[in-house]
C-alpha cells in the first residue's frame, strides 16, 4: 500500500482520513498546517509547516517516502503579504497569488498542480474514507415531507448556483424562502445565524421546518474540497429549527456515519441524499 | 397634491418618506404595521394595523381620502398560520399564501395587485424621495483603486446573481473572494459577520480592502423594495475593514445623502455608483 502524505488543514476531516489510514494499516505522514491542523494529529508521524513553506513540505514528503498526497480540511485564505515563504515558496508564490485573485477554486487547482508536477498522486479524502458519502434517499429514521423535500431541493439549487459563482457550498431554505447562503463564514456559522433569525421566519423544535442543502461547487476539485457533514451539522440544524439536511448522493462526505444517524434520529431530523 | 397612504414597515425608509411628504406640504396618512413601523411615525395621522388586517387597512385608507399608496420599509415574512386576518384578509389570504411559497417577489406583487385593484396608484419610495438615488461615480471624497473597483464589480455581480434567485440584494468581496452573501439577515447583520471573519481574510482600518455591493433583484418591483443605503451602512462597512460601498447608479436609495457623505469622508471609504 502506498504511503500517504496528508496535508492537514482544520476540522474533523483530516482526523478521519488519518484514522482510516491507521485502521487499514496504511502508512501516513501528516503535514500539520500551523494554526489549522487539529492537535490530535500530533500523534502521527509528521511535521508542522507554515502555509508558504512549500520547499519544506515537499522535502519532508520526499524524505518520508510518500507516494501520494491528500489535501483535507479547511484553511483560511492567507494574507499573502504576511506569509513567510521558504526559497521554493518564493519561486512559486507569485504564480499562486495570481491564481488566488481568481477565486478559491483557481487557487486550489494551482496548488494541486505544484504537487502533481513533483510526481505525487493526488487522492481525495472521500476515496480514502472508503465511500463514506451520502447515499440516495433517507439515511436515518426520518424522511422529508413533500414540503420539506421542496425546501431541500431549493436549498440545493441555491447552493449549486452559489457554487457556480465560487461563493460556497450551502444554503438554508424554509417555506420556499432562502434564509441564508454560505460564503466564507462556513456552514456552522450559517446555521447559528439562522437560529438567530426571527422565530416566524423559521421552524422550531416543536414545529420543524426548512432544510440545509450542501452541494459541491460545479468547478470544485472533489479530490480536495468535497462538502462534509458531521453530527455537529445535525445538532446546529436542529438548533435552527430545521426539519433536516441533505446533499447530492455520492457528493457529500459523512464524517462518522453512525454518529450522524444517532443525532438525526434523536433530534427528529431527516438526512436525505438527492440523486442528480 | 394627492394624499399618500404610506404603508410603513421597519427601518429608516418610511420615516424618510413621511418626512419628505411633510416638507413638501403633501398630506400623508400612515399605516403603521404593528411590530415593524418606527415609533417616530406615530406623530403623523394614521393607524396601527396587523399585517393580515387588509380590510381594516383598505377602509382606513378610503376614510382618510388617500389617492395613492407607498409601501416602504422592511417586514419579516410572517408565519401565515399565526396571522389574525380580518374578513377581507380571510378572503385574500389563501391567494397570498400561495404566492408567498414562490418567494418574496411573488408575494410582493400579489399584495400590490390587491391595492391596485382598489384603484390606488402605487408610488415608489424613491420617487417620493425626489430622486435621492446613488449617482454615477464617486459620491464623496474617495474613489476606489483599480483593485477596489474590481472587488465592487464582483460584489455587484454576485448580488445580481443572488437576486435572480430571489435571495437578497447584497454581497461583500475582498481580494476577489466572496466573503458574504446577504439573505434574510439583512445588510447590517452581513457586515457585522464580515467584521467577525479572520483578520487575514479582510481589510482593517489601517489597510482597507474589499467592497459591499448592493443591487436590486432583477425581478424586484422597484416601487417597493429598491435597495437602500444610510450612514449606518458606511459605519458598519468601515468596521468590517472594507474600502467602500457601491451600487448601481439610480438603483440605490440614499437615506440622508449628506450624512452618508460625512461618514464616508470621515472614515475614508469610497461610495461609488456603477453604470449599467
Residues B147, B238 within the same domain: yes
pLDDT reported for residue A101? 72
pLDDT reported for residue B224? 60
Q: Chain A residues with CB inside 8 Å of B77's CB?
A: 175, 177, 200-201
Residues A183, A71 within the same domain: no
pLDDT reported for residue A38? 82
Residues A18-30 have a mean pLDDT of 93
pLDDT reported for residue A112? 83
Q: Which of A16-30, A163-177, B9-23, B173-187 has the lowest mean pLDDT?
A: B9-23
pLDDT per residue rounded down to tens, chain B (276 residues) = 799 999 998 777 888 899 889 988 999 999 998 888 888 899 999 999 887 888 889 999 999 999 999 988 877 666 666 677 787 777 777 777 777 777 776 777 778 888 999 999 999 888 888 768 899 999 999 999 999 999 999 999 999 999 888 788 899 999 988 999 999 888 999 999 999 988 878 999 999 999 999 998 775 555 566 788 989 999 999 999 999 999 999 889 898 889 999 999 999 999 999 998
| CA distance, residue B235 to nearest chain A CA (Å) | 21
pLDDT reported for residue B74? 72
| Residue-wise pLDDT tens digits, A239-261 | 999 999 999 998 898 988 899 99
Chain A residues 143-172 within an 8 A CB cutoff of chain B: 157-158, 161-162, 165-168, 171
Query: Of A162, A181, A198, which has the smallest distance from its Cβ to B76's Cβ?
Result: A198
Residue at which a domain ends, from B129, B149, B172:
B129
In chain B, whose CA is at the least distance from the CA of A77? B201
Residue B87: how many CB atoms within 10 A of its CB?
11
Query: Of A78, A161, A175, which has the smallest distance from its Cβ to B200's Cβ?
Result: A78
In chain B, whose CA is at the least distance from the CA of A154? B165
More confident residue, B172 or A55: B172
Q: Chain B residues with CB inside 8 Å of A184's CB?
A: 177-180, 197, 201
Residues B149, B123 within the same domain: no
Q: Answer yes or no: do A161 and B158 touch at CB < 8 A.
A: no
Residues B15, B81 within the same domain: yes
Residues B43, B120 within the same domain: yes
pLDDT reported for residue B195? 95
What span, in angstroms and rounded, lies between the C-alpha atoms of B207 and A199? 38
The answer to whether A1 contacts chain B (CB < 8 Å) is no
Q: Answer yes or no: do A176 and B100 touch at CB < 8 A.
A: yes
pLDDT reported for residue A94? 74
Residues B219, B156 within the same domain: yes
Residues A87, A142 within the same domain: no
pLDDT reported for residue A220? 52
pLDDT reported for residue B78? 67
Residues B117, B184 within the same domain: no
pTM higher than the cut 0.95: no
Looking at the predicted structure, is the pLDDT value of residue A223 above 70? no
Chain A residues 3-62 within an 8 A CB cutoff of chain B: none
Q: What is the ipTM of this complex?
A: 0.71
Q: How high is the mean pLDDT of chain A? A: 88
Residue A64 lies in domain? 4-129
Looking at the predicted structure, is the pLDDT value of residue A221 above 60? no
Q: Answer yes or no: do B77 and A166 touch at CB < 8 A.
A: no
Q: Chain A residues with CB inside 8 Å of B79's CB?
A: 199-201
Find the CATH number of the domain harbouring B92.
3.40.50.20
| Residue-wise pLDDT tens digits, A85-135 | 787 777 777 777 777 777 776 777 778 888 899 999 999 888 888 768 899
What span, in angstroms and rounded, lies between the C-alpha atoms of A195 and B10? 21
Query: Of B78, B157, B167, which has the smallest distance from its Cβ to A178's Cβ?
Result: B167
In chain A, whose CA is at the least distance from the CA of B76? A201
Residues B119, B30 within the same domain: yes
Q: Answer yes or no: do B179 and A175 touch at CB < 8 A.
A: no
Residues A143, A232 within the same domain: yes
Q: Answer yes or no: do A179 and B181 touch at CB < 8 A.
A: no
Find the CATH number of the domain harbouring A236.
3.40.140.80
Determine which of A33, A78, A200 to mutate to test the interface with B (most B C-beta atoms within 10 Å): A200
pLDDT reported for residue B82? 67
Residue B100: how many CB atoms within 10 A of its CB?
21
In chain B, whose CA is at the least distance from the CA of A201? B77
| 3-class SS of residue A88 | helix
Residue at which a domain ends, from A129, A148, A183:
A129
Residue at which a domain ends, from A129, A147, A162:
A129
Where residue A66 falls (left for φ over 0; alpha for ψ -120 to 50; beta otherwise) is beta
Q: Answer yes or no: do B177 and A102 touch at CB < 8 A.
A: no
Q: Answer yes or no: do B161 and A165 touch at CB < 8 A.
A: yes
Give how many domains chain A has, as a whole number. 2
Looking at the predicted structure, is the pLDDT value of residue A74 above 60? yes
Residues A211, A260 within the same domain: yes
Residues B21, B62 within the same domain: yes
Element spanning A146, H or E: helix A146-164
Determine which of A99, A156, A185, A212 to mutate to test the interface with B (most B C-beta atoms within 10 Å): A185
Query: Of B157, B184, B198, which has the smallest distance from its Cβ to A179's Cβ?
Result: B184
The widest CA-to-CA distance across chain A, in whole angstroms, is: 59
Amino acid at each position: 500500500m502506498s504511503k500517504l502524505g496528508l496535508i492537514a488543514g482544520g476540522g474533523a476531516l483530516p482526523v478521519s482520513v488519518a484514522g482510516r489510514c491507521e485502521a487499514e494499516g496504511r502508512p501516513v505522514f501528516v503535514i500539520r498546517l500551523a494554526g489549522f491542523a487539529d492537535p490530535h494529529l500530533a500523534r502521527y508521524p509528521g511535521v508542522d509547516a507554515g502555509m508558504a513553506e512549500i520547499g519544506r513540505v515537499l522535502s519532508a514528503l520526499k524524505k518520508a517516502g510518500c507516494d501520494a498526497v491528500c489535501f483535507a480540511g479547511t484553511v483560511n485564505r492567507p494574507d499573502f503579504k504576511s506569509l513567510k515563504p521558504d526559497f521554493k515558496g518564493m519561486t512559486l508564490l507569485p504564480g499562486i497569488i495570481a491564481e488566488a485573485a481568481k477565486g478559491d477554486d483557481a487557487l486550489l487547482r494551482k496548488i494541486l498542480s505544484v504537487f502533481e508536477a513533483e510526481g505525487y498522486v493526488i487522492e481525495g479524502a472521500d476515496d480514502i474514507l472508503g465511500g463514506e458519502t451520502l447515499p440516495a434517499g433517507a439515511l436515518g429514521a426520518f424522511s422529508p415531507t413533500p414540503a420539506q423535500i421542496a425546501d431541500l431541493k431549493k436549498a440545493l439549487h441555491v447552493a449549486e448556483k452559489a457554487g457556480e459563482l465560487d461563493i460556497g457550498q450551502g444554503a438554508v431554505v424554509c417555506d420556499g424562502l432562502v434564509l441564508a447562503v454560505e460564503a466564507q463564514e462556513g456552514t456552522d456559522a450559517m446555521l447559528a445565524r439562522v437560529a438567530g433569525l426571527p422565530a416566524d421566519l423559521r421552524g422550531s423544535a416543536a414545529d420543524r421546518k426548512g432544510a440545509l442543502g450542501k452541494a459541491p461547487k460545479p468547478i470544485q476539485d472533489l479530490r480536495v474540497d468535497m462538502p462534509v457533514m458531521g453530527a455537529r451539522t445535525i445538532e446546529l440544524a436542529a438548533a435552527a429549527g430545521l426539519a433536516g439536511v441533505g446533499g447530492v448522493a455520492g457528493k457529500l462526505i459523512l464524517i462518522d456515519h453512525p454518529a450522524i444517524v444517532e443525532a438525526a434520529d434523536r433530534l427528529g431530523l431527516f438526512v436525505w441524499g438527492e440523486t442528480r
